[in-house]
Chain A
Amino acid sequence: MTAARPRPVPGPQAPFRLPPREVTRLGNGMRATFVAAGTVPIAAIRLVIRTGSADVPQGQTWLDRFVHEYLREGTATLDAAQLAEAFASIGGRFSVDADEHTTVLRTDVLAEHAPRAIALLAEIARAPRLPDDEAARLRTDLRRNLDMALVQPQFLTFAKFRSALYGTHPYGRVIPQGEVIDAFDAGQARAFWAAETGAQRAHLLVGGRFDAQRVTTAVHAAFDDWSAGPAPVDVTPTPTRGRRIYVIDRPGAEQSTMYVGLPVIDPTQPDYVGLEVTNMLLGGSFHSRITMNIREDKGYTYSPYSAVSSRPHDAYWVEAADVTTNVTGAALTEILGEMDRLGATPPDVAELAGIQNYAAGSFVLRQATASGILDSLEFLDMHGLDAGYAEAYVDRVRAVTPETVQRIAATYLPSAPVTVVVAGDRAAIEAQLAPFGPIEA
């Protein structure tokens, strides 16, 4: 066995400049942003529309999903099969990504076909066919998706956590009643789409490789005469903070699926970047404290992680883990203990510096691919932040001190007011959870 060479010590990371972006604003209020990235000859195209599940009327949960499925059924000029062929022939596939406030019509296509893809997405957004005779099949598909979701422990845990935090606010309404789905029809889909979409809610993002001039021409041709439509509406909630424990019984389950979290500040707040750094140190990275503790030291779980989940003027922090049933209580003790330990004692300088480098470096990594860049642009839009946020991000990360981390952990991430949801074998975990508080009915 030969000895390894001495470990190299990298110098400082080179100053990083964001890839240049070209922004166009149309007369109707719509925006378009183009960012060249990468070498793979693919154009990534997203039509981001500011509407989502939060805009669904009360009592119609999943109407947005019904509409998303419906959008595949063609446009004014193309039936479903023709639309699918049109995408396929340019190397694309149409899909919809959506959350509470955004609906993203997207496709990746061969670079030379970016203009055609823009025209197709515009046609879907502006003139979806939504044919009556497909409604029954789409309802059946949606019911099937609901039924399958209802046996997934991670989905059930997420849904219960959401309803515990947000109650009857749209963010808390994750699971629909089956009968509601059975009553969806084309008229509801048309009404929703007409009421919730339009140029002033739209932002077209193009990333990867493309001919900028042809793409610009295509954007004007496709969208210049789109009506402005409704202004976006925010529905800021007041989430509940306070220790509550919920159990979803899964008799015989080998693992407990846990969600542990609480409301925190949103990305527009001055402490937010510090909160992101704190999260990475606490549970949001592979070498974070919680992961090193419950995975690498104790072997309780495989893929624990923490994250800050945000919506406009709203966010929560959560640690999620699937742990062996007999260590459910022990794992919870460790998670809550790590939260409070960070709130009580500042991290040492070297540990924080490592996390700051991770935050700065992974920011560079995110800006290296078209999908990463477009994700970042969506994040800025979601929170009403401008390019200045991204430009200042690395400096703000560097400015975080150990004392800041401690203060942020103590202020925003104390263990006392966490909501805990566990999907697991109730008979086996009830006693383990007893020390943490009463289990809610």
Chain B
Amino acid sequence: MTASRPPEPAFGLQIPVHRTTLANGLRVVVSPDHSAPTICVAVYYHVGMRLEPQGRTGFAHLFEHLMFQGSAGMAKMEIAKLVQENGGNLNGSTRYDFTNYFETLPSHTLDLALWMEADRMRGPVITTAELDNQREVVKNEIRVNVLNRPYGSFPWIDMQERAYTNWHNAHNGYGDMADLDAAGLDDVEAFFRTYYSPANAVLVIVGDCEPDHAVALSRQHFEEIPAGPTPATADLSEPRQTEERRFSRPDALANLSALAVSYHTPPSGSPEYYAMGLLDQLLVQGEDALLYHEIVQSRGYAGEVDGGINFLGHMHNAHTPLLWTVELFHNNDIAADAILEAIDAVIEPLRTTVLPQVSLDRAIVKARAALYGTMSETYYPGAGVADLLAAFELFEGDASHVNEIEGRFAAVTPELVLATAQEYLRRENRTVLAVEPGATQGAQS
């Protein structure tokens, strides 16, 4: 067991990180925090939408739902009942490269929480009826979030389908209804065997616990789960984009135009990636951002400019390929070309001129605050920190790297920002998507 505890400045960030690997390959990360009597237990499996089988789009997410439908020691939804009747909240989510399951509870229930996650790591035990039920639930999730919602696929699904060329990255991870219909119990078994082994997972415990005790309990519950084969690696790479791509699509439910512009980011973890994170702060985050000033305040094209890295989270909890996106809603009498011209008027100078240090310093402060913001979870206390720890354990092989993030931002120079803008904010590196509204007015009754 290794531990790292950086010294504490007045109001510094220092997340205690205790790492252990069990005999079956399960990595365990414990981060004690005694500021409140709560505990968050999270299990992250290193499989997400990108690795689901062709012909089974949406399966990684459907599988996530099935992990609440019963296992050897728990009936359908009993895990939700157990968490609830012990005073906690639970959830799960499916992302590009991982699927997570987590609960936050009063801290005296740690033993039970670990037992629950160990039980379902042994595998879902479900019937066709339960699969059919969750298939309907998932279809209703897609309806409420995408099909029955104006701008429902904008830009997260629309853009990945157009900006990426590799099927793993480009396909719709919510899934085609036909693919969801085709999924059977044999798919469940195969997907579990391939991706849900202990060695392909990280267990994170954050909150009111003693690390030695938490690790000992983790051993008791998880170490006897048989190790499985390591899944084959997939080629998720995207080629360097050399030509701007432009698309538009109609949205019958929308009544106003929308525009999104996405650029491929530098490789995650690289110095350039952190420079890109600062460019994001500089360009779109907050009301001091350059694009906000130009598009909202100076030109009045839109009321807000949104965007960032990673449609399904933030820059610290995902692995490239990723997109940095600018998105906005605008009146129909403003042409997309005019907005693109405004964007270029802001971005092009960053590709030719070295940024003043004072601008970079402010971007770094904002990036730090944004990082701290990801750690604050009101409904699931501790889950934000657990998420960062799991992401760094999965993607960099060491959860304690979370304590290096601020140093990586601080190491970015104006020259690196310039070089990053020159390569990654090229027009040829971007995909433009315009939404053409199909609804003529509000559906007022």
Is the beta-carbon distance between A302 and B81 smaller than 8 angstroms? no
Q: Which residues of A contact B220 (CB under 8 A)?
A: 5
Q: Which residues of A contact B331 (CB under 8 A)?
A: 140, 144
Within 1-24 of A, Cβ neighbours of B (below 8 Å) are at 1-5, 7-14, 16, 19
Is the beta-carbon distance between A2 and B224 smaller than 8 angstroms? yes
CB-CB under 8 A for A255 and B442, given A287-B80, A299-B137:
no
| A7–B35 CA distance with the chains assembled, in angstroms | 28
User: Is A34 part of the binding interface, using a Cβ–Cβ cutoff of 8 Å?
Assistant: no
A112 nearest in chain B by CB position: B11
CB 8 Å contact bits of B91-129 with A (1 = contact, 0 = none) = 000000000000011101101100100110011000000
Is the beta-carbon distance between B108 and A13 smaller than 8 angstroms? yes
Is the beta-carbon distance between A40 and B372 smaller than 8 angstroms? yes
Is the beta-carbon distance between A89 and B287 smaller than 8 angstroms? no
Is the beta-carbon distance between B133 and A11 smaller than 8 angstroms? no
Within 104-121 of A, Cβ neighbours of B (below 8 Å) are at 108-112
Instruction: Please tell me which one of the listed residues A41, A303, A375 contacts residue B144 in the complex, with CB atoms under 8 A apart.
Output: A303
Q: What is the distance, in angstroms, from A162's C-beta to the closest C-beta of chain B?
A: 13
Instruction: Please tell me which one of the listed residues B12, B330, B369 contacts residue A109 in the complex, with CB atoms under 8 A apart.
Output: B369
Selecting from B236-244, B248-256, B344-352, B394-402, the interface stretch reads: B248-256
| A298–B24 CA distance with the chains assembled, in angstroms | 39
Is the beta-carbon distance between A354 and B36 smaller than 8 angstroms? no
A82 nearest in chain B by CB position: B288
Is the beta-carbon distance between A41 and B365 smaller than 8 angstroms? no
Is the beta-carbon distance between A40 and B115 smaller than 8 angstroms? no
B78 nearest in chain A by CB position: A287
CB 8 Å contact bits of B242-279 with A (1 = contact, 0 = none) = 00000000000111100000000000000000000000
| A302–B253 CA distance with the chains assembled, in angstroms | 20
| A160–B123 CA distance with the chains assembled, in angstroms | 46
| A65–B232 CA distance with the chains assembled, in angstroms | 54
User: Is A323 part of the binding interface, using a Cβ–Cβ cutoff of 8 Å?
Assistant: yes
Instruction: Please tell me which one of the listed residues A12, A41, A151, A365 contacts residue B104 in the complex, with CB atoms under 8 A apart.
Output: A365
CB 8 Å contact bits of B69-100 with A (1 = contact, 0 = none) = 00011001100110011111110000000000
Q: Which residues of B contact A27 (CB under 8 A)?
A: none
Is the beta-carbon distance between B87 and A110 smaller than 8 angstroms? no
User: Is A308 part of the binding interface, using a Cβ–Cβ cutoff of 8 Å?
Assistant: no
| A374–B48 CA distance with the chains assembled, in angstroms | 35
Is the beta-carbon distance between B108 and A40 smaller than 8 angstroms? no
CB-CB under 8 A for A322 and B288, given A112-B10, A357-B87:
no
User: Is A152 part of the binding interface, using a Cβ–Cβ cutoff of 8 Å?
Assistant: yes
Is the beta-carbon distance between A110 and B369 smaller than 8 angstroms? yes
CB-CB under 8 A for A286 and B84, given A10-B109, A14-B108, A110-B365:
yes
CB 8 Å contact bits of A69-99 with B (1 = contact, 0 = none) = 1001000000011001101111111100000
Interface residues on A, range: 35 or more
Instruction: Please tell me which one of the listed residues B144, B288, B366, B378 contacts residue A302 in the complex, with CB atoms under 8 A apart.
Output: B144
Is the beta-carbon distance between A299 and B133 smaller than 8 angstroms? yes
Is the beta-carbon distance between A302 and B84 smaller than 8 angstroms? no
Is the beta-carbon distance between A299 and B286 smaller than 8 angstroms? no
Instruction: Please tell me which one of the listed residues B254, B302, B385 contacts residue A151 in the complex, with CB atoms under 8 A apart.
Output: B254
User: Is B376 part of the binding interface, using a Cβ–Cβ cutoff of 8 Å?
Assistant: yes
CB-CB under 8 A for A365 and B11, given A248-B445, A296-B77:
no
Within 33-50 of A, Cβ neighbours of B (below 8 Å) are at 37-42
Q: Which residues of B contact A140 (CB under 8 A)?
A: 300, 303, 331
User: Is A141 part of the binding interface, using a Cβ–Cβ cutoff of 8 Å?
Assistant: yes
| A303–B45 CA distance with the chains assembled, in angstroms | 24
Is the beta-carbon distance between B85 and A94 smaller than 8 angstroms? no
Is the beta-carbon distance between B36 and A81 smaller than 8 angstroms? no
User: Is B147 part of the binding interface, using a Cβ–Cβ cutoff of 8 Å?
Assistant: yes
Instruction: Please tell me which one of the listed residues B11, B112, B385 contacts residue A110 in the complex, with CB atoms under 8 A apart.
Output: B11
Q: Which residues of A contact B115 (CB under 8 A)?
A: 4-5, 7-8
A247 nearest in chain B by CB position: B445
Q: What is the distance, in angstroms, from B294's C-beta to the closest C-beta of chain A?
A: 11
Q: Which residues of A contact B378 (CB under 8 A)?
A: 366, 369, 371-372, 375
Instruction: Please tell me which one of the listed residues A3, A84, A355 contacts residue B288 in the complex, with CB atoms under 8 A apart.
Output: A84
User: Is A193 part of the binding interface, using a Cβ–Cβ cutoff of 8 Å?
Assistant: no
Is the beta-carbon distance between A2 and B225 smaller than 8 angstroms? yes
User: Is A147 part of the binding interface, using a Cβ–Cβ cutoff of 8 Å?
Assistant: yes
Is the beta-carbon distance between A42 and B369 smaller than 8 angstroms? yes
| A145–B443 CA distance with the chains assembled, in angstroms | 15
Instruction: Please tell me which one of the listed residues B148, B221, B376, B443 contacts residue A370 in the complex, with CB atoms under 8 A apart.
Output: B376
Is the beta-carbon distance between A41 and B140 smaller than 8 angstroms? no
Q: What is the distance, in angstroms, from B284's C-beta to the closest C-beta of chain A?
A: 12
Q: Which residues of B contact A26 (CB under 8 A)?
A: none
Is the beta-carbon distance between A365 and B88 smaller than 8 angstroms? yes
Q: Which residues of B contact A147 (CB under 8 A)?
A: 255-256, 442
Q: Which residues of A contact B112 (CB under 8 A)?
A: 7-10
| A375–B134 CA distance with the chains assembled, in angstroms | 34
Q: What is the distance, in angstroms, from B215's C-beta to the closest C-beta of chain A?
A: 16
Q: Which residues of B contact A19 (CB under 8 A)?
A: 36
User: Is B136 part of the binding interface, using a Cβ–Cβ cutoff of 8 Å?
Assistant: yes
Of A109, A141, A144, A151, chain B has the most CB atoms within 10 Å of the CB of: A151
Q: Which residues of B contact A1 (CB under 8 A)?
A: 72, 122-123, 226
Of A4, A292, A364, A367, chain B has the most CB atoms within 10 Å of the CB of: A4
User: Is B189 part of the binding interface, using a Cβ–Cβ cutoff of 8 Å?
Assistant: no
User: Is B423 part of the binding interface, using a Cβ–Cβ cutoff of 8 Å?
Assistant: no
CB-CB under 8 A for A250 and B443, given A4-B119, A39-B35:
yes
| A367–B208 CA distance with the chains assembled, in angstroms | 14
CB 8 Å contact bits of B133-159 with A (1 = contact, 0 = none) = 111111111011101111000000000
CB 8 Å contact bits of A349-377 with B (1 = contact, 0 = none) = 00001110110111011111111100100
Q: What is the distance, in angstroms, from B214's C-beta to the closest C-beta of chain A?
A: 14
List residues of A whose CB falls within 8 A of some B CB: 1-5, 7-14, 16, 19, 37-42, 69, 72, 80-81, 84-85, 87-94, 108-112, 137, 140-142, 144-145, 147-153, 156, 160, 175, 209, 246-250, 253-255, 257, 285-287, 292, 295-303, 322-324, 353-355, 357-358, 360-362, 364-372, 375, 423
Beyond contacts A41-B11, A42-B373, A322-B140: 11 other A-B pairs, Cβ-Cβ < 8 A, are A1-B72, A88-B288, A88-B362, A89-B365, A94-B287, A144-B331, A147-B255, A148-B256, A156-B445, A254-B143, A302-B137
A-B contact pairs, 17 of them (CB 8 A): A4-B73, A38-B376, A39-B33, A42-B373, A108-B369, A137-B297, A148-B255, A148-B256, A151-B150, A209-B11, A247-B445, A248-B443, A300-B140, A364-B36, A364-B106, A372-B381, A423-B443
List residues of B whose CB falls within 8 A of some A CB: 10-13, 33, 35-38, 72-73, 76-77, 80-81, 84-90, 104-106, 108-109, 111-112, 115, 118-119, 122-123, 132-141, 143-145, 147-150, 220-221, 224-226, 253-256, 285-288, 292-293, 297, 300, 302-303, 329-331, 362, 365-366, 368-369, 372-373, 375-381, 385, 439, 441-445
- 3 tightest CB-CB pairs across the interface, nearest first? A361-B87, A150-B442, A299-B136
